[in-house]
């Protein structure tokens, strides 16, 4: 199948998705396009589904002097997807990749301002999200977009493109609940080869499409008011949380997240239950307000998240049921960097143990060398680029540390035995380092 243009491809894709979503009984979905070529396709998909439309900005990582080669992509909230299979042939070293990521994140911020302006993002929390692009060769941009949607509370992620390679489908399947395509991209073939008309879609055009693409599902267009609360960094803002203390608790584990949906997700509720079954109290915190969850710059700010967490530590001394208990920290995503920053700032006796699952500990930067708490890093076995980021972070730790993978598992730990394997490792680490050292107290 070949397409006259992106609009025709979007109409065909929308028809297929309408049937698919009705079959799966997935209501109230939000369609988000990946700029630039994804937006003309996404508009047609949103119209076919009667769904609200938004954009999810992702910035490509390129290879110097080889502009047609994509090494990966960055998305808001600290998400990085890397095409590891092209790094070595292209001669890209770790330092080069770090520099490329830094420049890409600067470009990402500029693109978000240019495309979205003062238009607020539609809230993804608690909603199914359909991510649409005009084609996928490596899957890096769609993967990064999927991770960003997950971090912002999407309950179901479907990635759709008119044409996609087998490699891209496999890769994106590690983060998405489902990947849909109309045509298989043949090896060595460019996405544009499947379109008769395939002009570039610059960011200013994407901004126009976002503003005028319509939201037939009835959701209001994102407001024009800026959702940020100025330039202040309210480190003392209260982070809502839930404290559960079993009888004769031997320690306290604070779980830090950046969305309310993460606090209440089945995976993280299971982690908390297993810790309580082992005699450890749990306090689950969302470090952001509902409004801030929509501001990707705040959600990706490890320093701000660390300030929020520090503000919650001091009052623990006044809670009788947990007073004097050894303290452990558990986190995912960007919050992983935040708990490491907290440990580095708190001193050697304040934190008894740390576990980061599916996180970005590398974003803690130079603070990694100051962490003294025994630290466990856990990564899904199929997430190779995240494994490399965690390995890089572990090499900068001077404390006791381990890096473990969950074999054969994807981002959601849906594979048989994956979630129990992860929770068992988390429980064992905290029981060993908290229950075994009662002299370490929460401060």
The predicted pLDDT at position 228 comes to: 31
Arithmetic mean of pLDDT over the chain: 80
The predicted pLDDT at position 307 comes to: 92
**pLDDT over threshold 60, residue 366:** yes
Mean pLDDT (whole number) for 426-439: 82
3-state secondary structure of 418: helix
With residue 97 as reference, give the H or E element that holds it: helix 94-116
294: confidence class by pLDDT, cuts 50, 70, 90: low
**pLDDT over threshold 80, residue 38:** yes
Q: Residue 278 and residue 435: Cα distance in Å, rounded?
A: 10
Q: Residue 391 and residue 94: Cα distance in Å, rounded?
A: 12
> Hey, what long-range contacts does 156-159 have (CB within 8 A, 24 or more apart)?
156/26, 156/29, 156/128, 156/129, 157/128, 157/129, 157/131, 158/17, 158/21, 158/26, 158/29, 158/128, 158/129, 158/130, 158/131, 159/130, 159/131, 159/132, 159/133
Of the ranges 201-205, 248-252, 437-441, which one carries the lowest mean pLDDT score? 437-441
CATH architecture of structural domain 6-212? 3-Layer(aba) Sandwich (3.40)
Q: Is pTM, for the whole model, over 0.95?
A: no
Q: Is pLDDT larger for residue 230 or for residue 266?
A: 266
**Residue extent(s) of CATH 3.40.50.2020 domains in the chain:** 6-212
Contacts of 190 (CB under 8 A, 6+ apart): 137
Name which of 29, 71, 31, 36 is nearest 57 in CA terms.
Answer: 36
Q: Could you tell me if 59 and 80 are in contact, meaning their C-beta atoms sit under 8 angstroms apart?
A: no
Angle between helices 418-430 and 266-277 (to 10 degrees): 40
CATH architecture of structural domain 241-435? 3-Layer(aba) Sandwich (3.40)
Name which of 282, 288, 416, 430 is nearest 354 in CA terms.
Answer: 430
96: confidence class by pLDDT, cuts 50, 70, 90: low
**Residue extent(s) of CATH 3.40.50.1820 domains in the chain:** 241-435
**pLDDT over threshold 50, residue 439:** no
The predicted pLDDT at position 81 comes to: 56
- pLDDT tens profile 140-194: 888 888 888 888 888 999 999 999 999 899 988 988 999 999 999 988 788 988 9
- DSSP category for residue 328: E
The pair phi, psi for residue 285, each rounded to 5°, is -120, 135
3-state secondary structure of 218: coil
Q: Residue 116 and residue 211: Cα distance in Å, rounded?
A: 9
């Amino acid at each position: 199948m070949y397409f006259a243009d992106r609009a025709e491809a979007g109409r065909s894709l929308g028809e297929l998705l309408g049937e698919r979503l009705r079959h799966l009984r997935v209501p109230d979905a939000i369609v988000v396009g990946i700029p630039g070529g994804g937006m003309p396709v996404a508009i047609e998909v949103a119209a076919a589904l009667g769904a609200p439309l938004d954009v999810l900005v992702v910035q490509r990582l390129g290879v110097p002097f080889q502009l047609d080669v994509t090494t990966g992509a960055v998305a808001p909230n600290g998400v990085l997807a890397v095409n590891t299979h092209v790094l070595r042939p292209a001669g890209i070293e770790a330092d080069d990749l770090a520099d490329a990521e830094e420049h890409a994140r600067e470009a990402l911020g500029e693109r978000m301002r240019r495309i979205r302006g003062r238009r607020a993002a539609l809230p993804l929390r608690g909603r199914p999200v359909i991510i649409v692009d005009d084609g996928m060769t490596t899957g890096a941009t769609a993967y990064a977009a999927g991770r960003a949607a997950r971090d912002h509370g999407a309950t179901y992620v479907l990635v759709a493109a008119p044409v996609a390679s087998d490699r891209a489908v496999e890769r994106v399947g590690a983060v998405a609940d489902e990947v849909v395509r109309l045509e298989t991209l043949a090896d060595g073939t460019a996405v544009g080869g499947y379109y008769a008309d395939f002009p570039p879609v610059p960011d200013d055009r994407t901004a126009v499409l976002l503003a005028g693409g319509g939201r037939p599902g009835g959701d209001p267009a994102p407001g024009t008011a800026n959702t940020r609360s100025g330039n202040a960094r309210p480190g003392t803002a209260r982070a809502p949380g839930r404290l559960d203390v079993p009888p004769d608790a031997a320690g306290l584990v604070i779980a830090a997240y950046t969305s309310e949906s993460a606090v209440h997700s089945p995976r993280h509720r299971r982690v908390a239950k297993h810790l309580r079954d082992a005699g450890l109290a749990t306090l689950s915190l969302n470090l952001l307000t509902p409004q801030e969850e929509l501001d990707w710059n705040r959600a990706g700010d490890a320093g701000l998240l660390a300030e929020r967490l520090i503000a919650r530590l001091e009052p623990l001394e006044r809670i009788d049921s947990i007073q004097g208990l050894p303290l452990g920290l558990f986190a995912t995503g960007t919050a992983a960097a935040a708990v490491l920053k907290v440990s580095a700032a708190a001193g050697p006796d304040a934190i008894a143990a740390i576990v980061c699952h599916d996180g970005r500990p590398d974003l803690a930067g130079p603070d990694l060398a100051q962490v003294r708490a025994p630290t466990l890093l856990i990564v899904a076995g199929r997430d190779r680029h995240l494994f490399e980021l965690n390995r890089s972070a572990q090499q900068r730790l001077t404390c006791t540390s381990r890096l473990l993978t969950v074999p054969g598992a994807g981002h959601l730990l849906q594979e048989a035995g994956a979630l129990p394997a992860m929770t068992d490792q988390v429980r064992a680490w905290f029981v060993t380092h908290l229950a075994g050292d009662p002299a370490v107290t929460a401060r």
